[in-house]
Chains A and B, each alone.
Chain A
Amino acid sequence: MKFDTPAGINPIDRMAVVGKPHDRVDGARKVTGTAPYAYERHDVVPDALYGFILGAAIAKGRITGIDTAHAQAMPGVRAIVTYQNAGKLTLGSKNTAKLLAGPEVEHYHQAVALVVADSFEKARAAAAAIHVDYGRAAGHFDLAAAAKSAKSDGGEDEDGSKSPPIDRIGDFAGAFAAAPVTLDATYTTPDEAHAMMEPFATTAAWTGDALTVWTANQMIAWTREDLATTLGLPKDKVRVDSPFVGGGFGGKLFLRADAVLAALGAKATGRPVKIAMQRPLMFNNSTHRPATIQRIRLGADRSGKLTAIAHECTSGNLPGGSPETATDQTKLLYAAPNRLTAQHLAVLDLPEGNAMRAPGEASGLMALEIAMDEMAEKLGMDPVEFRIINDTQVDPEKPERPFSQRQLIKCLRDGAATFGWSARDARPGRRRDGDHLIGLGVASAFRNNINFKSAARVRLGRDGVVTVETDMTDIGTGSYTIIAQTAAEMMGVGIDRVVVRLGDSDFPVSAGSGGQWGANSSTSGVYAACVKLREAVAARLGFNAPDPDFIDGHVRSGNRSVALADAAKDGDLVAEDTMSWSGLSRKYQQSTFGAHFVEVAVDAYTGEIRVRRMLAVCAAGRILNPKTARSQVIGAMTMGVGGALMEELVVDKRFGFFVNHDLAGYEVPVHADIPHQEVVFLDEADDKVSPMKAKGVGELGLCGVGAAIANAVYNATGVRIRDYPLTLDKHLDWLPTV
């Protein structure tokens, strides 16, 4: 099915199941620990050996020797895999750095060896007994220093096409010079880690020349393809299965070392092998959100109308890597006739930078939305009103393209009313509560909507049960539940009559989980398959009228009503289809919007920052399940607290690695950091995006939160911090006198 014209009325609009806050269908399994994750597949692989990965001890250079003899002689060791015996490995299309080093080392903790042994303890001990000699080479590890030689690189648009490195509309320089009120400020965001709770993990087993990996992965088809490429196998000899994924946030979008090395270890030993990457290896072995340096210039007339916007971003990556596209939202968020966005990419020899939840916008809004706060203050305007008067209903670069739906103003206004924004004193440092300085902050949230081709197979069984199969993943997002709701709505059955099977490359290829495209795309694929199944059911039951109703387990048209299950009494009915998109996203800019409101308390003596209240108002099309969607948003708000106040991969600029590479050193929010969170979804249905009329929320909730917190801290203290995270050392010396 092709989606190329706006959706009309369809069975989803009934919203008898879709749109309801249904408990997760996989909930009971998760709360009892009976949902099997990748390392736990005793059910299908009862006799796996244990793999343990050794990471490189240098950031750049060459392996000059590997002595495995002592390790090989240790008890229980079955195999040691290094570049010397792994055979030819080809770099996957989505990997920048190789997943097994040798002889070159491209980054610190790049895998150099795998030990396979008959217990975890033995494998770990033997890995420690491998001696590797390195020839260390000089590398570039300091973004600020490398920025001077950074090249222009626009990165990629969502459709995969190259973005221009510099985007100019009107005459930015002239307008900025002429503007009576201007801001020119530079902001920095640090490298951040996904730090999902489940480590990279894979159980691999060979049957003859065919490989199965039970792994933790967001994008089954990408990973199947890249695993086949890496190992030099035909794609049809590789099966990837990932029914439960313990968090990803972009870290599990791609093939990683655990999957490749488990496959190699299993080949070497002739036995299944399982690996869960040790936590201290994860931060430097895998990908991270790259640090940015962002310069923002804003010019406005005295009424507060922006006349000039410029946003330039510099990030770094390994050779062949991509830039952090932190200027993306600035092309679309606010009106102004004169605009400039530019991106620069420096070469760094740190671990590979790549997508982390809301890549681009998360970092970009951390800067842009502080700049908007600063500009509002310069203009003497309320920051909510300043954003509202600079709203645009069309793509500012291509005014002939309207937004498919854009309720940013309503998000801001409703949020301000709900949060009690009018209580904010625009003069910072004025509100006190005992020893604490109290501040309120706001930021706009913006994240583009992306649709990806997505397929599903739907089966009606003799028992009337509808089974959905698609390689879509549920990384905590609630895919199982919204797909069950979609199939139940389409086939007119209760959600308890639907079985959803996900994450297996034997199933039709879905959009996968990333870029907040998963919910809308994958349910649209299920919609398409269900439309076909409805046709097959109607034909089997002899309904001549077009489009009979499917409701309450029956198929109805006029006076005739037949039990749905009757259609399968002579055998299962199976339908498969793919939803694909064309045209509408060129005609209409499709984005999601929101407004974040935050109250913080800053200890007037110590500078410690605590978040007291958080509210997000989101406009993101139809909300397929308000309970799981809300969870996505509060989770993203929590990650935003981390980004604002504590998360930072600290770079050792001498030796080129992230120093704080475990969960004690890389701090993420804990219970004590997070107050009760409020989320409001505006009532929307966007007919330009899909028959589901839904968009994503999983990343929207992160976009802007950090800046809302930073703005609240400024409102509390009067000290403007432009370098994330906002740790107390950055404002302690300048706090108001107590």
Chain B
Amino acid sequence: MAITGASDARTVPPAPPVATMPVSLEINGRRHDLRLDPRTTLLDTLRDHLHLTGTKKGCDHGQCGACTVIVNGQRINSCLSLALQHDSDKVTTIEGLGQPDHLHPMQAAFVKHDGFQCGYCTPGQICSAVAVLAEIKAGIPSHVSPDLAALMHPTNAELRERMSGNICRCGAYSNIVEAIADVAGAVA
């Protein structure tokens, strides 16, 4: 096997280097001062610059939810925003929720209920689930809430509706919702 040089020898003057810009992020309680290519998403910043690879890239287009993280208390698809938009923001990733020797209750519930199979969507599901329970507690209604002004409850329909931005192709949904309901019950 041989690799020769570039496939086209025509000379084009080199393009100017990419400028970088500073950004400061607080991730899992720790401050990171970074200089980044402005095109860098929050997702790629976590995975490639900070080696926080628990946050997954499934589609890079906000279609699958695998990259869900919690920013200033709200869940977002980290692939859909650039890191520079998050200057001074507080980001919680799956690594910030718990570690193998001290699992967050939601992580433990996912293990207990087998709320995953391949594990690739799992960190996003868990970050979403933690934020969903907070949304319900805060009284934020969803598409299926029967009364927008009433207290919200973590019913099966509410959990399924609110979790629908997180795709699990292994199809662990039935177990995931049971894991979340288990935690919600313990919280209530």
A→B interface (CB under 8 Å)? 23-24, 26-37, 39-40, 42, 66-70, 72-76, 79-82, 84-88, 119-122, 125, 194-199, 231-233, 244-249, 264, 267-268, 276, 278-280, 475-478, 627-628, 630-632, 634-639, 662-664, 668-677
B→A interface (CB under 8 Å)? 1-8, 10-18, 37, 39-40, 44, 47-48, 51-61, 63-64, 66, 93-95, 97-101, 103, 107-108, 110-112, 114, 116-123, 126, 156, 159-161, 163-178
Residues of A within 8 A of B54 (CB): 32-34
**New A-B pairs, 11, CB < 8 Å, besides A27-B111, A73-B15, A636-B171:** A33-B55, A34-B95, A85-B7, A279-B60, A477-B117, A478-B117, A628-B114, A634-B172, A635-B171, A662-B59, A672-B161
Task: Enumerate 23 A-B pairs (CB-CB under 8 Å) in ascending A order.
Answer: A23-B114, A28-B103, A31-B98, A33-B122, A72-B6, A73-B12, A75-B16, A76-B18, A79-B6, A122-B18, A199-B57, A246-B119, A279-B59, A280-B61, A475-B118, A476-B170, A630-B114, A638-B171, A671-B160, A671-B177, A674-B160, A674-B174, A676-B174
Residues of B within 8 A of A670 (CB): 163-167, 173
The listed residue (A32, A76, A80) touching B94 by CB distance below 8 A is A32
Contact: A72 with B60, CB < 8 Å? no
Residue of chain A at shortest CB distance from B44: A120
- B12 CB to closest chain A CB (Å) equals 4
Provide the bound-state CA to CA distance between A672 and B144, in Å: 10
Contact: B4 with A85, CB < 8 Å? yes
Provide the bound-state CA to CA distance between A119 and B36, in Å: 11
Known interface pairs A197-B167, A674-B160. Does A75 touch B173 (Cβ–Cβ under 8 Å)?
Answer: no
Contact: B61 with A34, CB < 8 Å? no
The listed residue (A40, A79, A249, A634) touching B53 by CB distance below 8 A is A40
Provide the bound-state CA to CA distance between A42 and B165, in Å: 29
Residues of B within 8 A of A26 (CB): 119
Contact: B7 with A674, CB < 8 Å? no
Residues of B within 8 A of A119 (CB): 37, 40, 48
Residue of chain B at shortest CB distance from A28: B100
- A270 CB to closest chain B CB (Å) equals 10
The listed residue (B59, B98, B174) touching A32 by CB distance below 8 A is B98
Provide the bound-state CA to CA distance between A42 and B50, in Å: 10
Residue of chain A at shortest CB distance from B112: A23
Listed residue (A28, A30, A33, A634) with the most chain B CB atoms within 10 angstroms of its CB: A33
Provide the bound-state CA to CA distance between A35 and B121, in Å: 12
Provide the bound-state CA to CA distance between A201 and B120, in Å: 13
The listed residue (B7, B100, B168) touching A80 by CB distance below 8 A is B7
Contact: B169 with A276, CB < 8 Å? no
The listed residue (A73, A195, A247) touching B118 by CB distance below 8 A is A247
Chain A binding surface, main DSSP class: loop
- B119 CB to closest chain A CB (Å) equals 3
The listed residue (A36, A268, A671) touching B173 by CB distance below 8 A is A671
Known interface pairs A67-B10, A121-B37, A671-B160. Does A276 touch B1 (Cβ–Cβ under 8 Å)?
Answer: no
Total inter-chain residue pairs, C-beta < 8 Å:
254
Known interface pairs A32-B98, A671-B163. Does A245 touch B3 (Cβ–Cβ under 8 Å)?
Answer: no
The 5 closest A-B pairs by CB, nearest first: A33-B54, A638-B171, A246-B120, A476-B117, A476-B118
Listed residue (A32, A73, A76, A673) with the most chain B CB atoms within 10 angstroms of its CB: A32
Known interface pairs A68-B6, A82-B7, A195-B169. Does A233 touch B1 (Cβ–Cβ under 8 Å)?
Answer: yes
Contact: B18 with A75, CB < 8 Å? yes
Residues of A within 8 A of B112 (CB): 23
Residue of chain B at shortest CB distance from A640: B171
Known interface pairs A32-B99, A634-B175, A671-B176. Does A664 touch B61 (Cβ–Cβ under 8 Å)?
Answer: yes
Contact: B7 with A197, CB < 8 Å? no
Residues of A within 8 A of B100 (CB): 28-29, 32, 34
Known interface pairs A32-B94, A80-B6. Does A669 touch B59 (Cβ–Cβ under 8 Å)?
Answer: no
Provide the bound-state CA to CA distance between A80 and B8, in Å: 9
Contact: A87 with B3, CB < 8 Å? yes
Residues of A within 8 A of B172 (CB): 631, 634-635
Residue of chain A at shortest CB distance from B14: A73
Contact: A33 with B3, CB < 8 Å? no
Provide the bound-state CA to CA distance between A691 and B151, in Å: 56
The listed residue (B16, B53, B61, B159) touching A671 by CB distance below 8 A is B159
